[in-house]
Structure 1
Amino acid sequence: MSVILTAHTSATASPRDRAGHWRALVSGTFVPLDVIVHEDASPVGTITSRQLGRLRIAEVEAGPQTVSRSRRRISQGGAEFLTVTLQHRGTARLTQDGRQALVGPGGFTLADEGRPYLREHREHFRFTAFRLPKAALGVTDDELRTVTGTAFDGGSATAGLVAAYLKQLAAQPADLDPGTAHRLALTAADLLAALVHERGGLPARQLPEGTRSMLARVEDYVLRHLGEPDLSPARIAHANHISVRYLHKLFHTQGTTVSRWVQRQRLERCRRELSRPARAAPTISGVAARWGFVSTSHFSRSFRAAYGMSPREWQAMT
């Protein structure tokens, strides 16, 4: 998809209608939301947005306000999206999934648009929001819950990398070719997925050296044989001269099972192949067979369970 740059401002509305106009702009840019403006004289707000592949990037500047996503608003659409907000000016408080996150300039938060949340701005603010389909990350809703309602300030290497990449992404020119835009958006999704996975399991660097080495060897073996349908835990353990019980213990340290990890890797590669532009798009059955799924129907069920949509629906979003 080509990059499209649009700019909106509430200054075009009369002072009496400005708050209502601003609410419409916010919901039209992101997802259906409730907006309460906290100043008597509604301030002028601006939103500049563009599309980068499947990623919507919007810079927002306005005065004090509270934005909420209720169950009623969720029912109106947009539940399939994740929004990452990178703060530039002012502070914001995000409440979701029973957690509160206070974020200042340079930090960012993640909000799942499929669940209620509250975002409060008590002063003039500016931020850049990045909205993308949750399915692009290849993580489950439970895994995503580990990062919602949490402030990230670059304290960890992964969070710092995500913040730096998003900042650079927002600064890209508006005339990128569709192929480049698509790849940049995929990289953003991959970095966010890495952040989710870092929160979900024990980082490999914290494991004993011997365990870390064995886990890396096993994962390498799996990735080299991923397209083979008979890639079972017994075969993986035998090939690496360990017991099946020890194999399961290795993956337990990462908060998953070996079978789930294998399926996730297969689905991720299928998802990437199905993201190719329409002229180069492969068949769903061909992708399923190439990555070790025994039948197209099994692949389709697994894909929907992981990403909340069918392979054909995912292809149609490209």
Structure 2
Amino acid sequence: MASLTSLASREEFLDGDGDEGPAPHQRTRIGRLDLELVEPHQAFTRSWKRTSSILDASYVLVFPLTGCVAFSQDGRVAIARAGEYVLLSELASYELSSDKSARFLVLRIPAAELRGRLVSIEDHVSRRFKPNEQMTRLLAGMIGSVAELFIEFPAPNPQALATEVISFVALTIGSEDRGAATDVRNARYHLRRRIVDFIESHLGDQSLSPKKIAASSRISLSYLYSLFTDNETTVSQFVQTKRLQRAYEILVADPRGHRTVSEVAYEVGFKNVSHFSRCFSRHFKVAPRDVRQAPEAGSQPGANTRTAEPSGSSSPRTASSRRAFGSPYWDVNKQELRETV
């Protein structure tokens, strides 16, 4: 299990006159997502030790709103500015820091969720490819709007909102320009993309098997397995995750219950309804029949509850932060981040 090993403390970053307190950090939970707003006026540093299990790990998306943040992971050290984002993985150690001008959002997404949507997700960690400018603008605007609306008040249907956010994150990351990758890496990427497309279009086929998937791309079973072990999952696990995600999307889009849970289970390729219900509840921490029920604030999974401050943080919660988040593309602060020795 990983741990947060350092966070800028009050004593370390007080100005010389001693009248400036620590920057407020606000956190909220929306469904399966953790969202954090880091305010400026105080330097920030975070050191993460790797998480050993994918079930406990998350991917971390960082969106600078003003100023910039520095990050390092997998031997890469770089800076992200307003209007950009960077993806980090808790499955490896990383460092994240900013100076006093930076205001940014940190979104944590369960690793299994993104891996179930984008089989090449690890290729995108620590900003290895050029982002798609239009998609990045849309994603940054979406996350900023979600934070502005729900950082203090509960979302009306947090699990459904989380599903939509995760899907759009995967879409944006998948649109990154991989032109700088090697030919071999590109070839594996495009092959995996074809395989994922085939799986998604045949989820309702109860006889969908690794053998049938391999035959669709004219590759051997062993090579198919190797494509998925890159992400520490199996073909069957990937297919099941896709089926569960499809079922979730169908259920939340059918709040009046026009289709029964059994019908949805069969539609996404499960042969046994009981098995479907157990897998669904284990994956989403909520029963299929409860997904389309409007949750009451604070009583259902994903209600707006505050998570505890990480060890080492002495930041109080401000009375209100509902000032405009501003557009990350129209208010770009190009100030360089200076490292301290």
TM-score (norm 2): 0.55
2:87 and 2:260 mapped to 1: Cα distance?
33
Q: 1:152 to 1:88 in 2, by over 3 A?
A: farther
Q: 1:235 to 1:115 in 2, by over 3 A?
A: closer
Q: Answer yes or no: is 1:139 the counterpart of 2:111.
A: no
Contact 1:109 1:151 in 2 (8 A): no
Segments of structure 1 that go 5 or more residues without pairing to the other structure are: 1-30, 238-243
Identify, as 1 or 2, the structure richer in helix. Answer: 1
SS at match of 1:269: helix
Matches within 5 A, 1:264-279: 265-272=242-249
Contact 1:153 1:159 in 2 (8 A): no
Q: Which has the higher contact order (CA 8 A, sep 6+)?
A: 2
Aligned-residue Cα RMSD (Å) equals 5.0
Among all aligned residue pairs of Structure 1 and Structure 2, give the percentage whose two residues are the same amino acid: 24
Question: Which residue of 1 is the match for residue 33 of structure 2?
Answer: 55
Contact 1:101 1:151 in 2 (8 A): no
**Alignment match of 1:311 (pick from 283, 294, 318):** 283
What CA deviation, in whole Å up to 9, does each residue of 1:124-176 have, x standing for no partner?
32112223323333538973322222288864433332212112222226545
Q: 1:199 to 1:310 in 2, by over 3 A?
A: farther
Q: 1:235 to 1:127 in 2, by over 3 A?
A: closer
Q: 1:54 to 1:283 in 2, by over 3 A?
A: farther
Q: 1:136 to 1:273 in 2, by over 3 A?
A: farther
SS at match of 1:145: helix
Matches within 5 A, 1:1-318: 32-36=4-8, 39=13, 41=15, 43-44=20-21, 45-62=23-40, 63-71=42-50, 74=51, 79-139=56-116, 143-150=120-127, 155-172=132-149, 174-175=152-153, 178-179=156-157, 181-198=158-175, 219=197, 225-231=202-208, 244=215, 265-272=242-249, 288-294=265-271, 310-311=282-283, 313=285, 315=287
Question: Which residue of 1 is the match for residue 290 of structure 2?
Answer: none
What CA deviation, in whole Å up to 9, does each residue of 1:261-304 have, x standing for no partner?
86564243145468799998x99987654422345798799x69
1:201 and 1:162 mapped to 2: Cα distance?
19
2:46 and 2:154 mapped to 1: Cα distance?
32
Contact 2:139 2:168 in 1 (8 A): yes
SS at match of 1:149: coil
Contact 2:71 2:96 in 1 (8 A): yes
1:294 and 1:200 mapped to 2: Cα distance?
39
SS at match of 1:106: coil
